[in-house]
Amino acid sequence: MDVKKFFEDPKSLDDVKKMPNINLNHSQPKMFVPGKILQSYFGSIQEEIHKDKIIRIEAIKEYTTELSLVTNLIKCSENTFWIHSGNPNTIQKVTLQPDSRIKVLSRYHARAYLTRNGDLLISDHTSNLKILIRNENELTTSIYHFQPFITMAIHINDENQLIVGAVKKIPIDYSVPGGGFVMVMDMDGNIEAKYEFDRKNESLLTNLISITTTNNGNIFIIDITTEDDRGRVVLLEKGTVLNIYSGHADINSKNYPFKPDSIVATPNDNVFYCIRHGQ
Assign 234 to helix, strand or coil.
strand
Q: Which of 57-66, 69-78, 183-192 has the highest mean pLDDT?
A: 183-192
Q: What is the pLDDT of residues 90-141, one digit of tens each?
A: 888 899 988 888 999 888 888 888 788 878 898 988 999 999 887 777 889 9
Whether the per-residue pLDDT at 13 is higher than 70: the answer is: no
- pLDDT > 70 fraction of the chain, expressed in percent and rounded: 78
Q: What is the pLDDT of residues 181-213, one digit of tens each?
A: 999 999 999 999 999 998 888 899 999 999 999
> Rg of the chain over CA atoms, in angstroms?
33
Confidence of residue 43 (pLDDT cuts 50, 70, 90): low
The pLDDT of residue 24: 52
Q: What is the pLDDT of residues 144-171, one digit of tens each?
A: 999 999 999 999 999 999 999 999 999 9
- Provide DSSP, 142-192: EEEE-TTSEEEEEEE-TT--EEEEEESSSS--TTS---EEEEEE-TTS-EE
The pLDDT of residue 261: 87
**Mean pLDDT throughout 56-74?**
83
Q: Where are the domains of the chain?
A: 60-109, 112-275
Whether the upstream peptide bond of residue 34 has omega within 30° of 0, thus cis, is: no
Q: What is the mean pLDDT of the chain?
A: 82
Whether the per-residue pLDDT at 17 is higher than 60: the answer is: no
Q: What is the pTM of this model?
A: 0.69
Please give the angle made by the CA atoms of 204, 209 and 215, to the nearest 5 degrees. 80
Q: Could you confirm whether domain 112-275 is CATH 2.120.10.30?
A: yes
